Structure 1
């Protein structure tokens, strides 16, 4: 298995495990402690982490078939986007200053960019 593919599969698996743990934590520990709005934000962060971690898994599998620098870049952009998007919401949930939420659109933009890079890589592949 190509090294980058393996690295991204590992990151995706760890991120999925973390999202599972955070989802359970949110359901069991945060529900009685957070307002409905904050809990919904937390759940959104977990959902985005799940979906994009699965997407990262898919990119890693594509890299096994086609060693593409564009796909590798898409994977890294996706990882950074997940950390910034979901991470800023997690931080806000746990009491970070409200200004942290200004990072979420940056993370969301990186997530969109990552998927555009994947589309371009697929379109270019022969």
Structure 2
């Protein structure tokens, strides 16, 4: 990862940790709606506010591929977890289809957070 990407990621993490703000990147050329991603991110933040202290999601879209880079830390251990969720979306030709793909990826993100919480709760017992 180039230094500029590393610094940008660290800055996003610090901003997210300090104010719980959303971190999204919008690919202008593919028209993915930032507001929709922000809304889904806000829903996740609200849903997991008792468990998650830091949440970050970066969205990348390029040549029919949608990718989310997700990072979060649980309040119980403060350990940063990160994962990349991606899917080929060449068939998603309009806003409705792109939103469906994005919603499906957010379901995967939710499952990932659930697994981390369950693992942490199990470790504590």
With normalisation by structure 1, the TM-score equals 0.38
Question: Which protein is richer in strand relative to its size?
Answer: 2
